[in-house]
Amino acid sequence: MNKYCPICLDNFKRPYSIGCSHIFCMNCINKWLDNNNTCPVCRQKFIRKFPIPIALITAKYKTRKITEYWRGFKVFVKIQQMLDEHQDINGIDNSCIYLNEILKYIYENRWILNSNNKTVYNWCGGDRFKNILKDRLKNFSKHPNFKEGKIWQYKFRDILK
């Protein structure tokens, strides 16, 4: 993780990530994204803009808590990317297969949706995220092709409360 913005080479003003491990000022990365859709440092494809808590950057030591934040953040970015990709998939059969994969991944990493885990949860926009999942699960469960829908609804019953 970089301590300074790689674009203006200064301290961050409103730090943002675009899905990789690099961080930029909001204004700097916005200008870059006007003409590009990759990270200016590692060339990873732009996913979305994720605000990064300043406390994470200014922390002097890599405590367990900080490591956990980053772990949660990576999971969150990955899920977001999968959900975005899912919307572009053609054909209900393929959509169902991919949704199964996504739900499996989320279930394996369900700790990030535990609201006791306040900071990671808030950072990841936990509430907003739960609503997306609820909707996606509800809409697909109506479909006869999505046989696993009921099982997932059962497995997620406490998580999506």
Show contacts with Zn ion in window 2-31 (CB under 5 A). 5, 7-8, 20, 22, 25, 28
Angle of helix 64-87 versus helix 126-141 axis, rounded to 10: 40
**Shortest distance, position 125 Cβ to Zn ion, whole Å:** 21
Residue keyed to tokens 């674009």? 7
Q: Taking CA 2 as the corner, what is the angle to CA 123 and CA 7, rounded to the nearest 5 degrees?
A: 100
Q: With CB under 5 A, what is the number of residues at the site for Zn ion? A: 10
Compute the distance between CA of residue 118 and CA of residue 112 in angstroms, rounded to an integer. Answer: 9
The answer to whether 106 and 133 have CB atoms below 8 angstroms apart is yes
Q: Which stretch binds Zn ion (CB under 5 A): 39-47, 48-56, 91-99, 145-153?
A: 39-47
77 binds Zn ion per the rule CB under 5 A: no
Q: Of the candidates 15, 17, 39, 72, which one interacts with Zn ion according to CB under 5 A? A: 39
| Amino acid at site 1 | M
57 binds Zn ion per the rule CB under 5 A: no
Binding residues for Zn ion, rule: CB under 5 A, are 5, 7-8, 20, 22, 25, 28, 39, 41-42
